[in-house]
Structure formats: C-alpha cells, structure tokens
A and B are shown apart, each in its own frame.
Chain A
Amino acid sequence: MTQFSIKRRQLLAGIAAFSALPAVGLSSTSVFAQAAAPVAGGILKISHSTRVASLCIMQTSGAAEYLIGDMLYSGLTRMGMDMAPMPDLATEWSADTEAKVFTFKLRPGVTFHDGSPFTSKDVVATYQAILKPETASPARSVLNGIADIAAPDELTVVITLKNSYADFPLALTHPNARIFSAKALAGPIEALATQANGTGPFKQKTYDSARLTTLVKNEAYYADKKPYLDGVELHYFPDLAAETSNYLSGATDAMLEVQQADFARIAAAKGSKGQRVPSGRFVNIVMRADQKPFDDIRVRQAMAMAVDRQTLVDIVLEGLGVPAADTNISKQYRFFADVPETTYDPVASKKLLAEAGYPNGIKIPLVCSNRPAIRSQVGIAVKEMAAAAGFDIEVQTIPHDTYLANVWRKGNFYVGYWGMQTNEDAALTLLFTSDAAFADTAWNNKTFDGLVAKGRTELDPEKRKAIYAEAQQLMAKEKPSVLPMFQDVLTASRDVVQNWTCHPMSKNFYVEDVWLKRA
C-alpha cells in the first residue's frame, strides 16, 4: 500500500467545525477501505533501531518509544491521518464562542490495564503532572496555555485557557499528553518507566530495553472487536544491516523506519511492501540573523539560491521527499500555502553576494551534529552546490551532545533537524517566532509574530487560511533559515500484514487496525 497523498476527510462542513464544535462520538474511525474482513489473531513482530529507554510516554521522545506509547496509552483526542483530531478517551468536545473554555465528554466504561476505572480525575492528574517542570515533559509547551482544569463530574472535563485557541483539541493529540491513572501518578514517576498502565489497545507483557518488548491484546479496549492482533513484539536491532536482514528473511513482519538508501531494495523484495508517507519532517540550515554575515537579508537570499533543492532530494533522500520553499509548513498541513520555491541560480547568488559586500564570496564553517547522519549528508551536498556561488563552506561534523551544548541556539550557521508538528501554530512557534520555545534564528520579525498570534486565536477558517498564507509568504521571502526539502517517512511491512502504516508525524500507528492475513 503506497500513499503519495493524504486525502482530507471532513466530518462536518466547515473546517472550524471539527476543532471547536462537537465531534459526534464515533469510535476510532478506520481510514482504510477494507477489501477483506479482518481476521483476529496472530502476533506482529516489529523491528526498530533506537532503544526504548523508558515506557513512560509522558517523557519520552524516541521513535520506538512513540510506537509503544501509541499502543499502551490513549489521549483525550488522537491525531488522524488527515491532521484532524479523532475522539479517543473524549467522545465529544465543545468550546465557547471565544474558543477559550473547552468541555470534553469522556468515554464511559473505560478501564486502565490494571482494571481500575478511567474518570475525569485521571485527566486532571495527568495534565497537572505534565505542567510540572520537574517532569520534563515535551507536552508542557502545549499545555501551558491552560489557566484551569476542572472535573465537574466523573465523565466531564472543563479546561479554561488563558487565551483563545481554536485548535486546542488538536493540540491535545500531542503524543506525550496521554492519560495516566491518578493512582499511578501519586507514586514515584520513575516506576512508570518500567511499568505501563494505560488505556490503550495493548498491555505490557515483558520489557527488556536491551532487546525485546512484548505487548498483549487489551481485552477490555473500548473499540469493538479491536485490536485484532493477539500481541505485538518489538525487536531492537541497533545495526541497520542486521535489522534489514532479519526483515527480509521474514524473521520480523515490519520495520518501523527504513533508511532512504535501502528503501528501493526493501520495497521491491518478495513478500514485502514499502510505504512512503509524505510528511513535514525537515532538515534546515539555520542562518543566525543577528550576526554577520546573515544579518544582511541579501546574504540569506544568496544562500537560498545557492542550493539545488531537487538535486538535494535526489541524492540525499534518494528521491523520497519533496523540495520545500523555506517554510516549514508542508502540504499535509490544513493551511498549507503554495509559496514559490527559490530556484537554484549560482550566478544570481554570486551577484547578490557581491552587492552585499562580498565580491569574493564568503568562507564559513557549517556545523553538523552527527545525529542523525542526514545532517552532515545535507551539509556536504550543500557545500558542493554552493561552491559555484562563491560560498566556501567547511563542513564540521561534531558529536550530538557537543552540538547541543555549544552550537545549538548559539552558532550562526548549522544544520537543524525537526519532525512535523500538530498544526501550523505549533510548527511556526516551534522555531520561528521571537518567543519560540526553541528559537534559534534570531529573526525576530514583529509582523510575523503578529500574524502567528492572530492565526492562533482567529476562529473563522477562511480568515485563518489567509493569515497563515501571509505568514508563509513572509518566511519564504525573508528566509530565517534555508529549508530546502521535506523528508518522506518510510516504513515497510510484509504482505501478510494488513493496515500497517505510520502517520506523517511518526507518532501514531493505529496498530489496533492491523491484522494478519494468513492464506
């Protein structure tokens, strides 16, 4: 099953409708048209190449950890393949006219894996835990717009925000914002790293972070007849050659992430199918706008013209991606605006550099962390391309922690790597607004900040579309960073596996929909 585009599904007319107005209580909707009826039974074996260091989904951020968290825990809402929130533990939600007070109706009859009932107090306890700085949860940035959480009865939660935010239910799909039981949170949080107790479709059976984690079907899962699988095994292979060999020989049924270099071979292998999921995952080249030489917008534009985007996609991504126009809003986002891409023009770039006062080009080091390897691959490729425009780039690859300690948010020219975010607001406030959580471009553009703030509180979808379009055009013109391409998310599964897929954000996998077709 190869997907080259994501179809948009609108449950109700009007885009604002499915964020702020009640979503009728559907159980987790299957986004696949079933050709045959699903058959229950079987164990799915998935291989992964990054360690599962902890089962506590509130704190983790590794690829395999998202997968496990998605299977063990549920949130109030869940991200759908069309970038809209689906009901999960909340069956419906509504907002006041200002989109400041949100009321969530919770699903009745849900129990945690240990049998205890799920009620509104678990939601309150979870969100309060996330808001504590010592929990160090990545979801904190999403929840700290909350002014108050109340639980008027066992199946209702009322959340009041400090400011209007139409997309709040969407923001709650954050993978780290899954619900834990109040009882578990009363104890030490370290215990949750090895003991999972959630409401998800699968329960923890064994956990050995060094090689294998096994999960079993949660018989009490709220969705009727799901999950189909009896259990799931996650096999850890730190070396890609071994992981690939095991998958191709049939010892495992699915590979969580496939590298670009191997994808064609794996997709073409007998009994195996590869999947390309276009996504907003990107590599960007940060050009610090308050230091020389990038304080001059002409130099930034020259750099952008010195990169051949399609060739970059072809040689670094093996064609498994799309060129980008220096904004981090990809086609999958609802308010994506088709901004013209900067074409590769080394001659014009050279001229622009000369105009900016660099007739002999610029000699500058480009720092790349060594994790993941794609950073230095992009660095090397950009070095070669930009040479024709007069940029003499020296690629410096350094260890990830040195990069985090000494270069990130401090250096003036380095390669960043970020995944896709839940919505435009999250994406733009991640890096590019003046008060962004991880701001590192020092662009500090007041107009842009204003646009993003307006887009967040605006309720009318048409107006939001226009606002975000303007924001994207501004980014594309002023180029706080060179963002040359979006990377497809790549995964693979054997033919016997039905409905294995991965959301473009790589944080949801809908494993309750997966079944094994035995001949």
Chain B
Amino acid sequence: MLEPITARRLDIATHLRRTLGADFVVVPAPDHPLVMRSVDVLAGGRSGLTAIMMSTAEELRRPKLFDARLKLNMMALPPHTAFVYVAVKGEIWRGRQEAFAAELSIEDHASREDLTRLATNPPKTRHLQKAERSQKHSEARFADTYRLARALRRGLRHRLAVDNVAVSRAPYRDRLPNEIEGAFFPSTPSSQAIANLALEGADRWYDIWDGEPEPRPSAAGAAFVQSYPMARGDPDKILRAAAFAGWVMMPLQTDRSFEELGALVQRYTRLK
C-alpha cells in the first residue's frame, strides 16, 4: 500500500535536516502565498533552492493534476530552483522529465544520499533567462487579475466566511459572454474545491515548453461564490492563489450583468 504523502514528506525532510546541517532551511509542505498546493519539500541554503516533488495517490491516477501542480510551482518559485522528482515504490513515471533536474526512486537505497547531494549541489539545468521572462509576463497578468478580483469583492466584507463553515465542493459549469469559462459555487467553496479549480486553471493559463513554464494567452475564468472562503493565517490566500492560477473569484449576487463581467475578465486578464 502507498505510504501517505504527509509521511513521505516528513521522512525526506527529517533526513535532509539531519544531513544538510544548520545552514539550510528544510520545509515539508511549504505554504507559498501564490499557490494552493505547494511542492512537497523545499530546501534552501548557500547552494540555492531545491524543490522535491512526489505524486500523491490521486496524482498517480490522474497525472494531469501533478502536471498542473508542477506548472504552478515552477511559475511561483524563483527560476533558479532545481526541481527533483521522487518516484514511489513500483511507480511508472510518465511525466514531464525535461522539467526535472533529477528523478529518483524511493526504492533505491542510494536515493537519500542522492537527495542530500542534489540539495548541496543542485544541477543547473534551468534556462534562467527564459524562466525569468515568463515569470515577469505571468506576474504582470496576475497583478491585473488579482486587482480585478479584489475590486469585485469590495464592499462585500460582511459576506466573508470564517474557516470554511458551509461548503460546496463542486461548481456548476457554464460559459460567460466573451468565451469566459464560468464556475458557479452555490455556497462558500471549500479550500479543496478552489485548489482543484486552480489545478484545472493551470492547464488553461500555463504550459511547459522545453522544461520551462510559459504563460498561455487565454483569459482567466470566473469563479462565482456565494461567500468568500478564507485561509487561516492568510485571509486573502484563496483569492490570491485562484488569481495566480487563472480564476477571478466574484460574488454570485451582484448588480453587474454577465456581459459586463465577461468583458471585464476579458479586458483585464489577457496576457499583455
């Protein structure tokens, strides 16, 4: 049976903390302000940044989810981050090999030493200029998208939900004018539902080309919510991470027409 991802993360983080020494910070499941589902372990020290990724049981069944998580994290973390993939027992890896500086198998006894070696001396396989350029384009589009989401929320603070009380897990889907994808949550979406939506949006908004993520020229989607969910410790995280993944969260009850909202999304969230 597959060991839970939390146990695998902790196991690798404990090993790296022991072997890398106090110069490094090793974080299992880091909380990045721009993504809902982060890499599994991040190690930062004098030699640079190493992001370790492993597939969850669901990602093994649906590799597109892993692909989307990889795209979002490659776009969010600095371009000099080396990504390393760790395969689980018996796994046949069918992913994007060119995006990873190295691929290891947890079955291999030498893999732990390899991880320490890679974190101490991360391979320089990234196209730094290309990655930096893509990130700049993506950040500019994110700024506009996030600004639009905050502007549409203005005046609705009283509708903010605390700690995801009433939740809806799956949205109804429809299209808005201007070919804008719409997702309609009848109540407060759970953070899990927004995380799933974010992974779906990543496919529409980003691609990986030659091992580096690139923004795609599509407009964002519109995620309609009855009330806004909040994450503990970072009240705007869900709104921000949704915007980074290509979704403008907006209130279900609004004076604006769908035509007007579709035009706003089209105008503000295109790649410039």
Q: Do A and B bind each other?
A: no
